[in-house]
Amino acid sequence: GIMDNGFSFDMRMSKLDTDGYVDRSHADNYSFYMSGAWRNNKNLVRANIIHGKQLTGLSYYGVVADSLETNRKYNESGEYYDKNGVRRYYEDESSYYLQTHYHLIYSREINSHWNLNTALHYTNGFGYYEQYRYNKKLLTYGYNSSNKTDLVTRKNMLNDFYGISYSLSYSKNKINAVFGGATNQYDGHHYGNVVWMLEAFDNEVNKEYYRNSGLKNDISNFLKLDYAVLSNLSIYADIQHRYITYKMQGRDDKLLPDNTQKVLDQEHQFNFINPKAGAFYDINDNMNVYASFAIGNREPTRTHFKDATGDSNLQPKPEKLYDYELGWRFNNAKFLSAVNLYYMDYIDQIIPTGEKNSVGYDIMTNAPESYRMGVELSVAWQILKTLSFSANTTLSRNKIRNYTQWASFYDESWNETYISYNLGETDIALSPSIIGAGVLQWNAFKNFTASLTSKYVGEQYFDNTMSNDRKLDAYFVNNIQFDYLIETKLIKEIGLRFTINNIFDVKYSNDAYGGMWFEQNIEKTWAYYFPQAGINFMGGLSLKF
């Protein structure tokens, strides 16, 4: 609470440990939050510190389709064979990340019409991937040698993110206006070392084999206006300007086809204008309708540029969106329902290719013309004083117009050529046409709550070819959660939580990656899936002082 002198303090800590579902996918995570504030009638000053660490076993390779039924927990990460041919696993195959956020926030009520908000922020992060590499060419890791050996690499990341944001708001009579903006800089450094070799062949161990850096500046300003034309009709308009620069330099960890390292030296600039306008109309006290139109632009990320370096056919472009929405909403004391229709027309939408890079992130590409359209439905119903239900679903169509697929083609002599062919209109990767969720909650008695949560995801393709060989099946998963709150004199609140996830033990995969090639005009597929846990249990304890 707030003390008499205007000061207040908050503190939270959390700890999460799990063995994971697939083999060696353990996680050891903790986080810490501390906040202090001072306020009076006109001013608020707040300082936050958020700190967290995670250490997880690497498990982003997935499993092949044949293993989903026979060995769905198999994880090849860290696997190797010793000199006697015995299969073993590297114990320190892991991902580590440590991050700390600092925020300083100031708000002032200037007068009855004007309010000012400002914030400074700084985030520091450090992390690494440590991996066992079995029987690899030393040439791949910067050595002038054609020999192969087992080795361990550590890929490090060190980053700083800092900036300022502000907003000045005005409200009087029928007008509400906000002017604001932000200036941010992200400074990231990436480097990798070979920290161990089974056989060095007179080469240096603990060698740095790549180092690169990326600097991103993002400057934005916006203006929002809201005007009440009538007591039941309001219109609004927003406009935002963003200026983004990227500068990347140094060597990547990947080799080009000629066995030379990728050089990432490049600079990019983007200027975006993002306008939006719309209207709200209250039909009565319980019902309203709205409509809006917006233009949005999105820049490619550093990872997109890095993955595309060296391939002139993959140079990323910014994405442009034209978004049209129309909605209806009803709300009373016991029932809420809403319908939202949308049509999103894209130029150069940034979409997954179906493949992943060496650290498990989706490789992206631009779709010259594409769209997403659909309807979002939601309801909430207070059935009884102690029983409530809420649900939402989205029915959508997510398509690429005139999609062209590129693939390797091998003839009878295994000579490789690169071919392209047009598939017409295809589904966008990882975009199911049906998704839905629901929650049934029962407040059985004082301080005790039981809830049933359900989630449905329709079938989806994990590349853009609509091939049934590269498709994720639909799944429906249900969880039950029990919460009980104990109040004591010594500890203000003791929260107990017990969750049973996937109560019907459904076998499903929620992600996959893969690709295809041709052998003598016959299409072939490679694919890896990420199976999720069957029925599992989780307990939680929270203390509030």
pLDDT in tens, 346-370: 999 999 999 988 788 898 999 999 9
Give me the mean pLDDT over the 331-336 stretch: 95
Q: How many CB atoms lie within 10 A of CB 332?
A: 11
Give me the mean pLDDT over the 49-65 stretch: 95
- Residue 261, pLDDT > 70, answer yes
Give me the mean pLDDT over the 148-156 stretch: 95
Q: Identify the residue with better confidence: 144 or 238.
A: 238
Residue 117 lies in a domain: no
Rounded Cα gap, residues 364 and 302, in angstroms: 11
Rounded Cα gap, residues 393 and 397, in angstroms: 14
Rounded Cα gap, residues 486 and 484, in angstroms: 7
Residue 80 lies in a domain: no
Cβ partners under 8 Å of residue 426, min gap 6: 399, 400, 403, 464, 465, 466
Cβ partners under 8 Å of residue 70, min gap 6: none
- Total residues found in the chain within this entry: 545
User: Torsion angle, CA of 381/382/383/384, rounded to 10 degrees?
Assistant: 180
Q: By residue range, what is the domain housing residue 371?
A: 317-498+517-545
Residue 426 lies in a domain: yes
- Residue 1, pLDDT > 70, answer no
- Could you report the per-residue pLDDT of 423-467, keeping only the tens digit for each? 999 999 999 999 999 999 999 889 999 999 999 999 999 999 999
Q: What does pLDDT average to over the chain?
A: 95
The pLDDT score that the predictor gives to residue 145 is: 87
Q: Are 443 and 335 in contact (CB under 8 A)?
A: no
The pLDDT score that the predictor gives to residue 313 is: 67
- Could you report the per-residue pLDDT of 473-511, keeping only the tens digit for each? 999 999 999 999 999 888 889 999 999 999 999 999 999
Question: What are the phi and psi torsion angles at 200 (to 5°)?
Answer: -85, -20
CB environment 208-243: b (16+ within 10 A), e (fewer): ebbbbbbbbbbebebebbbeeeeeeebebebebebe
The token pair at 300 is 């490619």
Residue 3 lies in a domain: no
Smallest CA-to-CA distance from 281 within 229, 238, 326, 234 is with 234
The pLDDT score that the predictor gives to residue 315 is: 84
The pLDDT score that the predictor gives to residue 204 is: 87
- Could you report the per-residue pLDDT of 436-446, keeping only the tens digit for each? 999 999 998 89
The pLDDT score that the predictor gives to residue 118 is: 98
Give me the mean pLDDT over the 362-381 stretch: 97
Q: Identify the residue with better confidence: 392 or 143.
A: 392
- Residue 323, pLDDT > 70, answer yes
The pLDDT score that the predictor gives to residue 309 is: 82
CATH assignment at residue 416 = 2.40.170.20
Residue 389 lies in a domain: yes
The token pair at 237 is 């308009």
Q: How many CB atoms lie within 10 A of CB 447?
A: 14
Rounded Cα gap, residues 134 and 153, in angstroms: 11
Q: Per-residue confidence at 336, pLDDT binned at 50, 70, 90?
A: very high
Rounded Cα gap, residues 150 and 197, in angstroms: 6
- Residue 312, pLDDT > 80, answer no
The DSSP annotation for 433-497 comes to: SEEEEEEEEEEEETTEEEEEEEEEE--EESSSS--GGGEEPPEEEEEEEEEEEE--SSSSEEEEE
Rounded Cα gap, residues 180 and 149, in angstroms: 56
Q: Which of 15-29, 100-114, 348-362 has the lowest mean pLDDT?
A: 348-362
The pLDDT score that the predictor gives to residue 489 is: 85
Place of tokens 């442009």: 320
Number of domain units in the chain: 1
What DSSP element (H or E) covers 295? strand 287-298
Residue 137 lies in a domain: no
The pLDDT score that the predictor gives to residue 307 is: 85
Give me the mean pLDDT over the 204-214 stretch: 93
- Could you report the per-residue pLDDT of 228-243, keeping only the tens digit for each? 999 999 999 999 999 9
CA 18 to chain centre: 21
Residue 404 lies in a domain: yes
- Residue 406, pLDDT > 70, answer yes
Contacts of the segment 5-13: beta carbons below 8 A, 24+ positions apart: 6/38, 6/39, 6/40, 7/36, 7/37, 7/38, 8/36, 8/37, 8/38, 8/39, 9/34, 9/35, 9/36, 9/37, 10/34, 10/35, 10/36, 11/35
The pLDDT score that the predictor gives to residue 358 is: 76
Give the strand pairing for 362-384 and 387-410. Answer: antiparallel
Place of tokens 């999105």: 298
Cβ partners under 8 Å of residue 522, min gap 6: none
Residue 167 lies in a domain: no
- Residue 342, pLDDT > 80, answer yes
The pLDDT score that the predictor gives to residue 357 is: 83
- Residue 328, pLDDT > 70, answer yes
Smallest CA-to-CA distance from 544 within 10, 4, 3 is with 10
Above pLDDT 90, what percent of the chain?
A: 84
The pLDDT score that the predictor gives to residue 359 is: 80
